[in-house]
Chain A
Amino acid sequence: MTRQAMVAALVGNPNAGKSALFNALTGARQKIANYPGVTVERKSGRMLLPTGEPVELVDLPGSYSLHPSSPDEEVTRDVLMGRMAGQATPDVLVIVLDASNLEQHLVFAQELIELGRPVVVALNMVDLAERDGLVLDPAALASALGVPVIPTVAVRRRGLAELTAAVAALRDRAEEAPPVHRPHVTAPERRMLARQIARGAILSETAQHRIHAQLDRVLLHPWLGPPVLVALLFLVFQAVFSWAKPLQDGLDGAFSGLGDLARSELPVSLLRDFLTDGVIAGVGAVVVFLPQILILFFFILTMEATGYMARAAFLMDRAMAGVGLSGRSFIPLLSSFACAVPGIMATRSIADPKDRLTTILIAPLMTCSARLPVYTVIIAAFVPDRQVLPGVGQQGLVLLGLYVFGVLGAMGAALLLRRTVTKGQASGFIMEMPKYQLPTVKDLALGLWQRAYVFLRRAGTMIFAVTVVLWLLLNFPRAADPQDQVNASVAGHIANGLAVVIEPIGFNRDIALALIPAMAAREVAVSALATTYAVGESDDAAQGRALGAQLKSHWSLATALAFLAWFVFAPQCMSTIAVTRRETNGWAWPAFMLAYLFGLAYVAAGITYWLAVAAGLG
């Protein structure tokens, strides 16, 4: 059983390339969970020794020392000291060092070696060091540290066999010899030693990090950097909308083909309607957005893997300081464009608690990928597909506008929150800039596969269940006259009650019907609308009609715009609420988040509707 299996831990400074090494050593055999009681992600996987024997490999959060200054570092210390409940003390430590940053990384490495555990050092990213003109001598490093040193290039899978062999050798030795206790030295001594050892390990050194510096000269340039960032973000949003189109049309065609097939092959019955209107229409309406979500994640993962994300944080720090945050908040907020859940989890790297809380509270205002289905359907139905400028479509511009609207809302909210509920000292910004690196196809593919899996699992379970329940609520009790099915149903009664509240902001009963199940997840609104309109139509031809055409015949432009404005703010996502509760340790902040975001959504939708009606669009 796994109880007997050996446990090895990857440990090292942030930006040492631990995650890439972890991916290379474990492949797709990974498990991502949380440590009990804390909110730090626990990544573990199965690594195979040369003998074929499995070892549990744990990827510990990047740390600078065993004296923690963040929750991440606390976890690292507790696991290493054997104080983490539910986590066996690692038998072997694999210390990961960035070869081109030895002087820095050897400080923590010495502290780890002093623990006296079986240790092997992975001298990682030796290729980048050589690219920068730094040639190292692993043997010299090994004799200075007194532990084995294996040069590795995790992203190119170099040195992995040697590393696992070294782990196996350590394990064999650990079984016979008791742990060695090494003399303890003070921090300044360690730093001096680190410098000496690092210098001693250098075989040859030429001009410093050239490519790195040349890229930074442009990307961090006070005048060139920001336009490059804006252009990049614009490219991302155009790509999300236009590149995904053919794939989406393909998926859409496949699902409507499936629906048609079911309609023609199965006998007319309630079961047939359930399959076509409930299951196929509902789940299909969500699955078609997979290409867009993957394209967005592709860009975010690439920006992270290349090291550009930290530069973006640097460029954005000034602007973030204006609303009382720091550049550090930029990374969680940008991730929130993909999904607020990983975004909120990424706030752990923000040391200041008030800063972190503010970032968590505004993260849901970033337009996440779950809103894309909603925006796309409404925009495609109501905004003409015209070219404003060559290559710049009107639909893409409206989409960009919605993103900007969300960002401005978030900035305003941050400004207000920092002056009221999260009042406190202005936060600082200290951040190491990782080296630029070409991402590997394998790491990107693994990351994308994990996102796609999470999305499809949601579509297959929660969204499927919500769709089925909604279909049942819509179809029972049966109405005498088929035209009135929605009004007669349970869901219709609930929605009619809710409609009273949302009528002033231009929402109709069908929207009320979509908003309730969309509390589970925003994209459910699309499948709910699809189900509602499919059930509402009596003849097969109308049922097969695309959702866009249905919306156009039931909604005014003012209603559509108000609906978009609502979704910029409304916190309709159970996962976000759940993760906020976990990250803030209680219900107070998620409750606050719900209240303030629903308030904003109501006001924004209302203002949009009234203005649109006044402009004659009602």
Chain B
Amino acid sequence: MTLDQLPTGASARIVSVAWDTLVPEEGQRLCALGIEEGAEVRLAYRGVFLARDPIAIEIGRMTVALRRVHACAMTVEPQMAPVA
């Protein structure tokens, strides 16, 4: 499953990232933000109206907006949903 397929509100751990499919600078930016293999993220918001783009993910105490193309490059492993 890739990150863009994760249901809104669900958490997951990033298992692998297809870095070669990303623009190098953008890959570097994602790394700098800690969005890389092993990171635990939560898909917090999806884009306006019916568009599924962009998405906002929570990583640690930070919220980061990114596009679906980036999310598609990330294979994730869904985590157990925390008790709300």
Binding site for B on A (CB under 8 A): 64-65, 67, 69, 100-101, 103-104, 107, 132, 134, 187, 191, 208-209, 212-213, 216, 220-223, 225-226, 310, 313-315, 317-318, 321, 326-327, 351-352, 425, 428-433
| Closest 10 pairs between A and B when the two form their complex, measured CB to CB | A64-B32, A433-B63, A220-B45, A317-B54, A431-B65, A318-B51, A314-B65, A430-B66, A69-B28, A103-B60
Give the distance in Å from the alpha carbon of A314 to the alpha carbon of B50 in the complex.
14
Specify the chain B residue showing the minimal Cβ separation from A326.
B67
The closest CB in chain A to the CB of B37 belongs to A188
Chain A hits for B60, CB < 8 A = 101, 103-104
Contact of A225 with B48 in the complex, beta carbons under 8 Å: yes
Beyond A101-B61, A221-B45, A318-B54, list 13 extra A-B contacts (CB 8 Å): A64-B32, A101-B62, A104-B33, A104-B59, A104-B60, A209-B61, A216-B45, A226-B49, A314-B56, A321-B67, A429-B65, A429-B66, A430-B70
Q: What is the number of contacts between chain A and chain B, taking CB atoms within 8 Å? A: 111
Q: Knowing A318-B48, A432-B62 are in contact, say whether A103-B32 is a contact too (CB < 8 A).
A: no
With contact pairs A132-B61, A317-B65 given, residues A65 and B45 touching in the complex (Cβ less than 8 Å): no
A318 and B68 CA atoms in complex are apart in Å by 11
Contact assessment for B26 and A191 in the assembled complex, using a CB-CB cutoff below 8 Å: no
B49 touches A428 (CB 8 A): no
Q: Are B63 and A67 in contact (CB under 8 A)?
A: no
Take A132-B61, A430-B64, A433-B65 as given contacts and tell me if A351 and B45 are in contact as well, using a CB distance cutoff of 8 Å. Answer: no
Residue of B with least CB distance to A314: B65
Query: Is B1 engaged at the interface, CB distance under 8 Å to the other chain?
Result: no
Question: What are 13 inter-chain pairs, A to B, with CB distance below 8 A?
Answer: A69-B29, A104-B33, A104-B59, A216-B56, A222-B50, A310-B65, A314-B65, A321-B53, A321-B67, A351-B25, A351-B26, A352-B25, A432-B33
**With A103-B60, A351-B25, A425-B23 in contact, do A430 and B30 touch (Cβ < 8 Å)?**
yes
Q: How far is the CA of A318 from the CA of B49 in the complex (A)?
A: 10
B47 in contact (CB, < 8 A): yes
CB contact under 8 A between A103 and B34, given known A216-B44, A327-B54, A351-B29: yes
A220 to B47 alpha-carbon distance, docked (Å): 8
Report which of A65, A100, A226, A318 forms a contact with B32, defined as CB distance below 8 A. Answer: A65
User: Which residues of chain A come closer than 8 Å to B31, judged between CB atoms?
Assistant: 187
Chain B residue at minimal CB-CB distance from A100: B61
Instruction: Give the complex CA separation of A191 and B47 in angstroms.
Output: 30
CB distance from B59 to the nearest CB of A (A): 8
Contact B25 A69 (CB under 8 A): yes
Picked from A134, A208, A317, A433, the residue with its CB within 8 Å of the CB of B53 is A317
CB pair A430 B33 closer than 8 Å = yes
CB contacts (< 8 Å) of A226 on chain B: these are: 48-49
| Highest count of chain B CB atoms <10 Å: which of A67, A208, A212, A222 | A222
Chain B residues whose C-beta falls within 8 Å of the C-beta of A69 in the assembled complex: 25, 28-29, 32
Asked if A433 contacts B64 (CB within 8 A), the reply is yes
